[in-house]
């Protein structure tokens, strides 16, 4: 895997045309394009093949499934049928898929959204010992591991602890990535690309810092440089 293969760009736009333009622009710099709820709901499932035709080498369909088992399994079958490389469900529900053949798709368990911090977890009713995001992330990462997920989604701040729990092969995918001088937007648990990779991330997810940059190609290239610099700090296994 090259540093570029580890950069996941979030196509958080409302139309397939906008998504295609971004893929054409950024395909030389980005390893994986992420189709999330906004694009999937507004443009429909055919957006996946349009993103592929525009040049995406790998596609991450980030629907963060969370529902009753029958609905989850049916939705996962449909998602896999679209021919994507990565799909997500909330990690506490990953067990629903433990005996399912997901074809060529890898399942990632979303641990705790990077927009949530301790205050939000308290307001949501978590007991004091799970109001520390890292504690809840590790609890859910263990569920994802037991369910046979290929990996998890967590913030860079938990990447080292999660890598320790899941071992060297797991995918540790980190959103909430910001350049050192970047704005956090609605993200709470943010980190630079370099630090997230040095801490044990296998991939980073970046949306706004590339999409809204004056020069998105240069911003993507800077992210790839950050990935390479972070990887150089990881001790050999
Ligand atoms: O624009 P920004 O870089 O904050 O984009 C973050 C992307 O990562 C969004 O597409 C969001 O859905 C996704 N994500 C996240 N936190 C998670 C999982 C996914 O922010 N825990």
pTM above 0.85, yes or no: yes
For residue 177, give both structure tokens.
């990535």
- The CA distance from 178 to 201, in Å, is 14
8 A C-beta contact, residue 55 and residue 24: yes
pLDDT of residue 120: 97
DSSP letters for 150-206: SEEE--HHHHHHHHHHH-TTSEEEE--B--TT---TT-SS-B-HHHHHHHT-SEEEE
Q: Which domains does the chain have, with CATH numbers?
A: 4-231 (3.20.20.70)
Q: What are 197's two structure tokens? A: 């990779």
Per-residue pLDDT tens for 73-99? 999 999 999 999 999 999 999 999 989
Check pocket membership of 110 for ligand 1, CB cut-off 6 A: yes
Mean of the per-residue pLDDT values for the chain?
96
10 lines ligand 1 (CB under 6 A): yes
The per-residue pLDDT for 183 is: 87
- Look up residue 193 and give its two tokens: 């690309």
Look-up of token digits 């906008």? 18
Of the residues 34, 57, 64, 188, which is catalytic?
A: 64
């Amino acid at each position: 895997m090259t540093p570029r293969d580890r950069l996941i760009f979030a196509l958080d736009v409302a139309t397939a045309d906008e998504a295609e333009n971004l893929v054409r622009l950024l395909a030389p710099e980005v390893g994986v394009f992420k189709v999330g709820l906004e694009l999937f709901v507004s443009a429909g499932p055919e957006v996946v093949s349009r993103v592929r035709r525009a040049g995406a080498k790998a596609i991450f369909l980030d629907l963060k499934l969370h529902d009753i088992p029958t609905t989850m399994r049916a939705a996962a079958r449909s998602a896999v049928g679209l021919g994507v490389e990565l799909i997500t469900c909330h990690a506490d529900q990953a067990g629903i898929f433990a005996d399912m053949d997901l074809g060529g798709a890898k399942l990632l368990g979303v641990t705790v959204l990077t927009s949530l911090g301790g205050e939000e977890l308290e307001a949501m009713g978590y007991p004091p010992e799970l109001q520390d995001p890292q504690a809840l992330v590790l609890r859910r990462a263990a569920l994802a591991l037991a369910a046979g997920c290929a990996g998890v989604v967590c913030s860079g701040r938990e990447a080292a602890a999660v890598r320790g729990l899941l071992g060297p092969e797991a995918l540790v995918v980190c959103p909430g990535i910001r350049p050192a001088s970047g704005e956090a937007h609605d993200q709470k648990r943010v980190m630079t690309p370099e630090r997230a990779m040095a801490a044990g991330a296998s991939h980073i997810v970046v949306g706004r810092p590339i999409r809204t940059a004056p020069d998105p190609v240069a911003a993507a290239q800077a992210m790839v440089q950050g990935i390479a610099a972070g990887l150089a700090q990881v001790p050999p296994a």
